[in-house]
């Protein structure tokens, strides 16, 4: 649910990443997990003693420090290279990677201790230089490694390094956890810098969703969640250790309840599998919540904050890997692409509360119809929460598009409802703002698109969203009430319908049905190719009025002509039954079941033909006895082909079954 507020400017910054070149030009990310260092000989002649390499490192540290004092940004590169070489030498001498050994002490001989000290100092000064020249993540990694290396030395050998590294790392961390970091950095922060108050909890998400029709599932994604007591970053101006949602910015602080001063947080990371930060953790979400000292009955919201973070990471993965959709509204080297979730104790009606009988009596008159309806019964055409359908359980401010509020944290609702809320609200964040809808509808339709797609994806695997298998019916019911009738509505209206620009319920349902059609028939990747350029365009529009009128259903239809050109490969598999005017149920839609055509039956089809497609090949038992009306065709053993004569865009035709036919697959073909 979107909430209008004062317009806010969107700040833009370039994402700070740092893949660097290793010695002799080998491309290598020096802050990635350091197993690769074992095979890196460094930049010294083969067989050179590690002690000589250590001397060279000390010389480079001195040179880097001189550059640092002179304000030369090259100090970062010099000290980074010195730290890398020192780790190589230390690994050679110790026989193990010092960053893979936890916090265990290294051998205590003079050579190893000297190299450990040299490596620690190199990382320490690298961290100082990176911090000075606004490379925050790099600074945190370097300082955490300096602290880690100093802890592997005896106190008498580490000198001031252990103290200084701890102080500098603590200072930099006042601004929050890093955006990108390797395993060892996060472990050092948790165990040492933050005194073991939280632990890095690792988990994986293995989804059955395929991004292409007939393709392999997305596979496994690794997550890391901070489990325990983690405090928010210190506010840069006030110095506060708590956060209050911007939604309440106009309320005097003294009038806010204590539970709106959120003094705890959970951070969620995802393992990067490609790009310059491959192998590292990338922060995706932050969940702010109130500690038991501030909640009613001293309730501990950490378990729910942790579960909410996990739900969001899964939803983000499906949007990112399936559609290529992500949060484009949050900018800055500390926040790039990170979505903030506010887990709130209060009601959306605060300062009133919907537990108050007097408030309950007025809800029908006070609340918009967007969330009205009976339990488990969808309204037309908007969705209904599974519990308390009369109230908003989650929402956003239009001026803070990258943040989501979840109200009534203590209200018990099934995991399927939490998942629905996350899918809906992240749809507002990651999908194009198809807008202009009039009350009682939400101004934007991207929220309902998010939850409609989410229900289709979650229905086959409810347990992966924290719900028991029997809860599949919740998602299936959602598909039956939303995706299925929306698809039928779109097919009935057709691609040239005036509903493309309608601001009423028909326009809303048309947009929903078009999106279901594109995702089911062509797959998430092709839908993403249509949506991503629109999201990029919208991210640069900060004016709320302009954003609301920026795009609608026609925009999505038009995007197909531009964004589906040049599809890769010689063939494009599709789910043809989704484009046929046939009876279907929710399970057919979820599973993309094949189509059965009795002998002599006719069915109409509506397809968008991408530029470059010469023909459509249809396979399955009996297809060789089918014929097409409206387009040329030819039949062969076990298949038939329909030809488009070089025309692209929307095409309609009729299939006539000459025998009992089972359509099992179909694909566009190029010349």
Q: How far apart are CA 77 and CA 50, in angstroms?
A: 21
In a domain, 60, yes or no: no
**Could you give the residue ranges of the DSSP H alpha helices within 70-109?**
74-94
Q: Which whole number is the average pLDDT over 428-432?
A: 95
**pLDDT tens per residue across span 342-374:** 999 998 888 877 665 555 555 443 333 333 233
| DSSP letter (8 states) at residue 217 | E
Q: Is the pLDDT of residue 16 over 50?
A: no
In this predicted model, which residue has the larger pLDDT, 47 or 580?
580
- The answer to whether residue 634 is domain-embedded is yes
The answer to the question of residue 93 being in a domain is: no
Preceding amide of 394 cis, omega within 30: no
Q: What pLDDT does residue 13 have?
A: 22
For residues 435-440, average pLDDT = 89
User: Is residue 389 scored above 50 in pLDDT?
Assistant: no
Tens digit of each residue's pLDDT (9 = 90 or more) over 450-466: 999 999 999 998 888 87
Choose between 105 and 180: higher pLDDT. 180
Give phi and psi for 371, each to the nearest 5.
Answer: -120, 30
Tokens of 1: 């649910």
Q: Does 6 have pLDDT greater than 90?
A: no
* 291 inside domain: no
- Confidence at 30, pLDDT banded by 50, 70, 90: very low
Residues 6+ apart with CB under 8 A from 526: 212, 518, 564, 567, 572
- Please report the pLDDT score of residue 367 as a whole number: 34
Q: What is the pLDDT of residue 440?
A: 84
- How far, in Å, CA of 577 to CA of 487, rounded? 12
For 104-126, b where at least 16 C-beta lie within 10 A, e where not — what string?
eebeeeebbbbbbbbbbbbbbbb
Q: Give the per-residue pLDDT at 358.
A: 58
Per-residue b or e along 351-377, where b marks 16 or more CB atoms closer than 10 Å to that residue's CB: eeebeeeeeeeeeeeebeebbebeeee
Residue 344 CA to residue 338 CA, distance in Å, equals: 19
Alpha carbon 55 to chain centroid, angstroms: 45
Both tokens of 142, joined, read 């370097």
How many CB atoms within 10 Å of residue 253? Answer: 12
Higher pLDDT: 499 or 236? It is: 499
Nearest to 98 by CA among 110, 82, 113: 113
pLDDT band at 448; cut points 50, 70, 90 = very high
**Total structural domains in the chain?**
1
Residue 38 has pLDDT above 60, yes or no: no
User: Given this model, what pLDDT does residue 102 score?
Assistant: 62
Confidence at residue 239, expressed as pLDDT on a 0 to 100 scale: 72
The answer on pLDDT for 83 being more than 50 is yes
Name the more confident of 469 and 18: 469
Calpha distance 552→555 (Å, rounded):
5
pLDDT tens per residue across span 326-346? 998 887 767 889 999 999 999
**By the 8 A CB rule, do 531 and 431 touch?**
yes
**Residue 398 lies inside a defined structural domain of this protein:** no
pTM of the model: 0.87
Is 200 inside a domain boundary?
no
- Dist. CA 243–CA 646, nearest whole Å: 59
Q: How far apart are CA 12 and CA 202, in angstroms?
A: 31
Query: Mean pLDDT throughout 272-286?
Result: 95
> Three-state DSSP class for 601?
coil
Range of the domain at 623: 571-669
Is 189 in contact with 200 (CB distance < 8 Å)?
Answer: no
Q: Beta partners for 649?
A: 609
Query: Looking at the chain, how many residues does it have?
Result: 671
The CATH number of residue 622's host domain is: 2.60.120
Res 104: pLDDT? 64
When pLDDT is cut at 50, 70 and 90, the band that residue 42 belongs to is: very low
Dump pLDDT digits (tens) for 554-611.
999 999 998 998 787 899 999 999 999 999 999 999 999 999 999 999 999 999 999 9
Nearest to 610 by CA among 563, 576, 663: 563
Lowest mean pLDDT among 350-354, 436-440, 472-476, 599-603: 350-354
Q: Following DSSP, what letter does each residue of 352-395 receive, concatenated? A: S-TTSHHHHTTHHHHS-GGG---TT---SSS---SS-TTS-SEE
The SS3 call for residue 251 is coil
Of 655 and 238, the one with more pLDDT: 655
Q: Which of 75-84, 142-151, 347-356, 506-515 has the lowest mean pLDDT?
A: 347-356
39 pLDDT higher than 50: no
In a domain, 47, yes or no: no
pLDDT tens figures, 210-232: 989 988 888 899 999 999 999 99
- Specify whether the CB–CB gap between 450 and 390 falls below 8 A: no
- Identify whether 578 is part of a domain: yes
Q: What was the pLDDT predicted at 636?
A: 92
Is 320's pLDDT higher than 50?
yes
What is the share, in percent, of the chain residues with pLDDT greater than 90? 62
What pLDDT shows up at residue 526?
Answer: 96
pLDDT of amino acid 253: 87
The residue to which tokens 């010689």 are assigned: 570
Average pLDDT of span 284-296: 95
**Strand positions, DSSP E, 565-630:** 571-574, 595-597, 602-609, 615-619, 626-629
pLDDT of 544 higher than 90: no
pLDDT at 490 over 90: yes
User: Is pLDDT larger for residue 58 or for residue 470?
Assistant: 58
Angle among Cα 613, 614, 618 to the nearest 5 degrees reads 90
pLDDT score of 357: 59
Residues whose CB is less than 8 angstroms from the CB of residue 315 and which lie 6 or more positions away in sequence, other chains included: 419, 422, 423, 426, 454
Specify whether the backbone of 630 is left (phi greater than 0), alpha (psi in -120 to 50) or beta.
left
pLDDT tens per residue across span 87-96: 888 888 877 7
395 vs 403, 421, 448, CA distance in Å?
9, 9, 12
Q: Which of 101-110, 462-471, 612-621, 658-667 has the lowest mean pLDDT?
A: 101-110
Q: What is the pLDDT of residue 1?
A: 60
Helices 74-94 and 110-132 pack at an angle, to 10 degrees, of: 160
- pLDDT, mean over the chain: 85
């Amino acid at each position: 649910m979107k909430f209008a507020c004062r317009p806010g400017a969107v700040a833009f910054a370039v994402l700070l990443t740092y893949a660097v070149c290793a010695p002799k030009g080998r491309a290598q990310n020096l802050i990635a997990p350091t197993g690769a260092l074992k095979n890196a000989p460094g930049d010294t002649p083969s067989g050179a003693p590690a002690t000589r390499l250590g001397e060279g490192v000390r010389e480079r540290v001195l040179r880097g420090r001189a550059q640092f004092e002179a304000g030369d940004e090259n100090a970062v590169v010099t000290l980074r290279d010195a730290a890398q070489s020192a780790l190589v030498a230390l690994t050679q001498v110790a026989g193990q990677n010092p960053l893979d050994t936890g916090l265990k002490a290294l051998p205590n001989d003079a050579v190893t201790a000297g190299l450990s000290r040299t490596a620690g100092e190199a990382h320490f000064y690298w961290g100082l230089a990176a911090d000075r020249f606004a490379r925050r993540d790099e600074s945190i990694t370097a300082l955490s490694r300096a602290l880690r290396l100093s802890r592997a030395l005896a106190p008498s050998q580490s000198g001031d390094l252990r103290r200084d590294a701890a102080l500098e790392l603590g200072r930099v961390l006042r601004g929050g956890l890093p955006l990108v970091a390797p395993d060892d950095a996060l472990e050092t922060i948790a165990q040492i810098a933050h005194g073991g108050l939280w632990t890095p909890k690792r988990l994986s998400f293995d989804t059955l969703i395929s991004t292409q029709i007939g393709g392999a599932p997305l596979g496994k994604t690794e997550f890391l969640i901070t489990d325990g007591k983690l405090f928010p970053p210190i506010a840069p101006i006030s110095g506060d250790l708590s956060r209050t949602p911007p939604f309440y910015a106009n309320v005097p602080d003294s009038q806010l309840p204590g539970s709106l001063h959120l003094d705890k947080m959970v951070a969620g990371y995802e393992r990067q599998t490609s790009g310059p930060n491959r192998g590292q953790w990338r922060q995706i979400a932050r969940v702010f919540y109130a500690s038991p000292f501030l909640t009613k009955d001293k309730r501990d919201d950490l378990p729910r904050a942790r579960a909410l973070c996990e739900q969001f990471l899964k939803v983000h993965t499906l949007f990112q890997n399936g559609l290529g959709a992500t949060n484009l509204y949050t900018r800055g080297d500390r926040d790039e692409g990170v979505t903030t979730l506010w887990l709130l104790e209060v009601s959306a009606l605060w300062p009133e509360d919907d537990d108050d009988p007097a408030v309950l009596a007025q809800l029908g008159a006070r609340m918009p119809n967007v969330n009205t309806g009976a339990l488990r019964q969808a309204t037309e055409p908007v969705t209904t929460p599974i519990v308390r359908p009369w109230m908003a359980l989650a929402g956003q401010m239009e001026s803070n598009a990258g943040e989501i509020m979840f109200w009534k944290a203590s209200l018990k609702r099934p995991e399927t409802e939490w998942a629905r809320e996350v899918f809906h609200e992240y749809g507002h964040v990651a999908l194009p703002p198809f807008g202009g809808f009039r009350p009682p509808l939400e101004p934007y339709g991207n929220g309902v698109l998010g939850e409609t797609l989410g229900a289709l994806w979650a229905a086959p695997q409810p347990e992966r969203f924290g719900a028991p298998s029997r809860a599949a019916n919740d998602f299936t019911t959602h598909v039956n009430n939303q995706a299925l009738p929306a698809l039928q509505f779109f097919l009935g209206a057709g691609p040239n319908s005036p509903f493309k620009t309608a601001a009423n319920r028909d326009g809303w349902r048309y947009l929903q049905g078009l999106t279901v059609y594109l995702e089911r028939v062509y797959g998430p990747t092709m839908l993403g190719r249509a949506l991503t350029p629109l999201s990029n365009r919208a991210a640069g529009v900060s004016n709320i009025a302009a954003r609301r009128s920026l795009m609608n259903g026609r925009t999505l239809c038009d995007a197909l002509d531009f964004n589906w050109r040049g599809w890769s490969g010689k063939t494009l598999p599709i789910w043809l039954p989704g484009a046929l005017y046939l009876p279907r149920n929710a399970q057919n839609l979820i599973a993309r079941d094949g189509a059965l055509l009795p002998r002599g039956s006719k069915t109409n089809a509506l397809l968008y033909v991408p530029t470059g497609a010469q023909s459509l090949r249809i396979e399955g038992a009996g297809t060789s006895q089918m014929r097409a009306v409206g387009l040329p065709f030819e039949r062969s053993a076990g298949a038939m082909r329909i030809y488009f004569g070089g025309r692209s865009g929307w095409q309609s035709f009729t299939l006539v079954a000459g025998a009992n036919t089972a359509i099992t697959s179909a694909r566009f073909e190029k010349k």
